[in-house]
Structure 1
Amino acid sequence: MTCPRERPAISRRAFVGGALAVAYGPRMAEGQPAGKLAAIGFVSERVLPPRYLDALREGLAERGWIEGRGFRIEPRSAEGDLERLSGLVVELIGLGVTLIVTGIGTPVALAAKRATAKIPIVFVTGGDPVDFGIVPSAAKPGGNITGYGGGSSLIQKRIALVQETSPRVKRMAFLVNLTNPIHPRILRAAVSAGAPLGITLEEIGVFEAAEFGDAFKRIAAKRLDALFVPGDAMFSHHRARLVALAGAARLPAMYGDRLFPDAGGLMSLSVDLVELCRRAAGHVDKILRGTRAGDLPVEEADRFELVINLTAAQTLGLTIPAALRQRAETVS
């Protein structure tokens, strides 16, 4: 697996997009009154680094859209609290947004889908949008929603990578946010994926971040020897705490996105969600020019990120195999 490194702040793609915008002028959404900007609501489950929203802007610039002249973005974040999502979407609807982009997970896409059957929605998620109930079909999503998604095949690869890094692992803790509606399904998939590898996974559930300490006491009491942390807004929001607890417990840990190894966690394998945000501009562009969201097929991720923190590995006494290092982006 070749994992792309993060682009520089000003990429060739952004330069070309800017040149196209100058050449062709700002685009206006079909049916928009002259002088009125298309309002794009961007709602996320957690506070995201700027590169995610910048990627969407870059993708729109490539298609001739100029922020402040052809469109504006109304960003909202639930800051790790999934219960806030519905209210944030309703707030955007009240502002009269032209369409809504959700990032970067399944719960926020489901919240937007429940909130409106009229305003177009473009979702970005690392999960399987059909399996998780966002759309009935990738080819024909129907209704007012479409987007970009990943799949469940990464689950077994994540477990296998932990085993490759630490061959002694046999019993893995699976951290579950008990307020996240998709975690039970991910846990079932993980249990099935671990069986052929000879690894059992045990649920360690929490309702809130204040329970993390107790969760790691349960992990120690069960003598579990590794940790699987799936993608989740609350986990990501409190990633520094989780990384510290995993390190103190000397647990090899696999995380749901690269924000964790960037914060000192051992490793992550995930869809390149920054790239998906850039690609999401393609559907946004088509919708603003008059295409129905439900007529646009859901597109799959084709780029993935394997990130390994070498300092964390050294602290745990792990030697990362040379072949694995060649496939990964390493940080320290």
Structure 2
Amino acid sequence: MAAASMLPKTIRAQQTDAVRRVAILVGEAIEDDPYYEGRIAGLREGLRDLGWIEGRNLKLDIHRTPPNETDIHKHVGELLAARPDVVVTSGGTTTRPVLKATSTVPIVFIGAIDPVGSGLVESLAHPGGNVTGFSQFDYSLSGKWLEILKQVAPSTVRAGIIRDAALTAGIGQFAVIQSVSTSLGIDVVPIDPLDGRSIENGIDKISRSQGGGLVVTSNATVTAHRELIIKLATRYGLPATFPNRTWVDRGGLISYGPDLIATAKLAASYVDRILKGARPADLPVQNPTRYELIINTKAAIGLGLTLPPAVLARADEVIE
């Protein structure tokens, strides 16, 4: 004991501070996409605030992969081979393949849509198994995108809904939007984001209708076409609502959705608890603590829209 106490302080710290390995998997179709890079930064900040310091007691293993099955499975194999203590995933697209590959390594998701309905957890209060985390929103929020579209562009009577029909989340979001469309007097038409051509064809068709508009749903497949969708909405003069602020930061009109950077910081608390011995099965899935309405007034001017004062008053941020 006396001999150990004579060692330099830095060496004693290295002996007592076990380095824990946390793997992060994001389905990032756009290089340096702030939508996902913000989550990584938020998680880093949250862990640092809790005393987990990279290079001292923490090793972060970050995997960025295109959101397709082949690439995701390749990264899942690589990250699990490194024997992480915890895996953090960006959402449902990346969580499911990890969950299929391991039933023992703890998993924390940052923004999964409908984690119960999509089969990631048994229930929100009692997740069961080796996965827990934070939901992005429940499907009811999807209807608000169409409501907001009608509020900012009252003449809208036909809306293209860009969603991925191959995903449960895409089907669920469209179903809710469709359920509120009649009361709003809007005919909704699905647009599949199979590729750039299918998106452009769908948006072109909507633009030929009197009172056309767009609603963009939330998932990695749709996000992969973000720049194109914003460009086409501007070109065709279509008002559009989006699921998060990164679309508005890039020139989109208006967004309503969770602050996923804040959620990522909260996810760090779950990683901290698991590293200290907690089980994912005992940590309830949490909903976002904050939703934000972001408006781009420059985009509104370009579309010839006069934004209602009531909508502007509700905005968390107005970009001019």
TM bin (shorter chain): 0.7 to 0.9
- CA distance in structure 2 between the aligned counterparts of 1:311 and 1:295, rounded to whole angstroms: 47
Query: What corresponds to 2:75 in structure 1?
Result: 88
Query: What corresponds to 1:136 in structure 2?
Result: 122
Moved more, 213-222 or 257-266: 213-222
Provide closer, same or farther for how the CA distance between residues 262 and 80 of structure 1 changes in structure 2, counting only shifts above 3 A: farther
Deviations 1:275-301 (A, max 9, x none): 100000111011001111111111111
Deviations 1:210-255 (A, max 9, x none): 4322222333356561101111223323312110101111111111
- CA distance in structure 2 between the aligned counterparts of 1:91 and 1:269, rounded to whole angstroms: 35
- CA distance in structure 2 between the aligned counterparts of 1:230 and 1:82, rounded to whole angstroms: 20
Provide closer, same or farther for how the CA distance between residues 194 and 106 of structure 1 changes in structure 2, counting only shifts above 3 A: farther
Q: Given the alignment, which residue of 256, 281, 293 partners 2:280? A: 293
Query: What corresponds to 1:220 in structure 2?
Result: 207
- CA distance in structure 1 between the aligned counterparts of 2:206 and 2:310, rounded to whole angstroms: 30
Provide closer, same or farther for how the CA distance between residues 126 and 265 of structure 1 changes in structure 2, counting only shifts above 3 A: farther
SS, match of residue 77 in structure 1: strand
Query: What corresponds to 1:205 in structure 2?
Result: 192
Cα drift, residue 258 of structure 1: 1.1
Query: What corresponds to 1:14 in structure 2?
Result: none
- CA distance in structure 2 between the aligned counterparts of 1:257 and 1:278, rounded to whole angstroms: 17
Moved more, 240-249 or 179-188: 179-188
- CA distance in structure 1 between the aligned counterparts of 2:251 and 2:298, rounded to whole angstroms: 8
Structure 1 runs of 4+ with >3 Å offset: 33-36, 79-83, 178-181, 220-224
Provide closer, same or farther for how the CA distance between residues 210 and 89 of structure 1 changes in structure 2, counting only shifts above 3 A: farther
- Report if aligned partners of 1:119, 1:144 keep a CA contact under 8 Å in 2: yes
Whichever of the two has the greater Rg, that structure is 2
Q: Given the alignment, which residue of 39, 50, 57 partners 2:21? A: 39
Equivalent position amino acid for 1:152 in 2: Y
Query: What corresponds to 2:313 in structure 1?
Result: 326
Moved more, 57-66 or 135-144: 57-66
Equivalent position amino acid for 2:82 in 1: L
Cα drift, residue 112 of structure 1: 2.0
Q: Which runs of 5+ in 2 are unaligned?
A: 1-9
Q: Given the alignment, which residue of 44, 52, 72 partners 2:39? A: 52
Determine whether 1:97 maps to 2:87: no
| Percentage of identical aligned residues | 31
- Report if aligned partners of 2:161, 2:191 keep a CA contact under 8 Å in 1: yes
Equivalent position amino acid for 2:236 in 1: A
Equivalent position amino acid for 2:130 in 1: N
- CA distance in structure 2 between the aligned counterparts of 1:78 and 1:179, rounded to whole angstroms: 19
Deviations 1:279-332 (A, max 9, x none): 001110110011111111111112011111111100111111122112211114
Provide closer, same or farther for how the CA distance between residues 194 and 310 of structure 1 changes in structure 2, counting only shifts above 3 A: same
Deviations 1:3-38 (A, max 9, x none): xxxxxxxxxxxxxxxxxxxxxx9xx9xxxx955421
TM (normalized to structure 2)?
0.87
- CA distance in structure 1 between the aligned counterparts of 2:281 and 2:211, rounded to whole angstroms: 45
Provide closer, same or farther for how the CA distance between residues 83 and 181 of structure 1 changes in structure 2, counting only shifts above 3 A: farther
SS, match of residue 182 in structure 1: helix
Determine whether 1:175 maps to 2:162: yes
SS, match of residue 186 in structure 1: helix
Cα drift, residue 135 of structure 1: 1.1
Equivalent position amino acid for 1:296 in 2: L
- Report if aligned partners of 2:66, 2:72 keep a CA contact under 8 Å in 1: no
What is the alpha-carbon root mean square deviation over aligned residues? Answer: 2.2
Equivalent position amino acid for 1:323 in 2: A
Equivalent position amino acid for 1:211 in 2: S
Equivalent position amino acid for 1:147 in 2: G
- Report if aligned partners of 2:47, 2:272 keep a CA contact under 8 Å in 1: yes
- CA distance in structure 1 between the aligned counterparts of 2:161 and 2:126, rounded to whole angstroms: 34
- CA distance in structure 1 between the aligned counterparts of 2:148 and 2:194, rounded to whole angstroms: 28
Q: Given the alignment, which residue of 141, 145, 157 partners 2:131? A: 145
- CA distance in structure 2 between the aligned counterparts of 1:207 and 1:93, rounded to whole angstroms: 30
Provide closer, same or farther for how the CA distance between residues 263 and 297 of structure 1 changes in structure 2, counting only shifts above 3 A: same
- CA distance in structure 1 between the aligned counterparts of 2:183 and 2:102, rounded to whole angstroms: 42
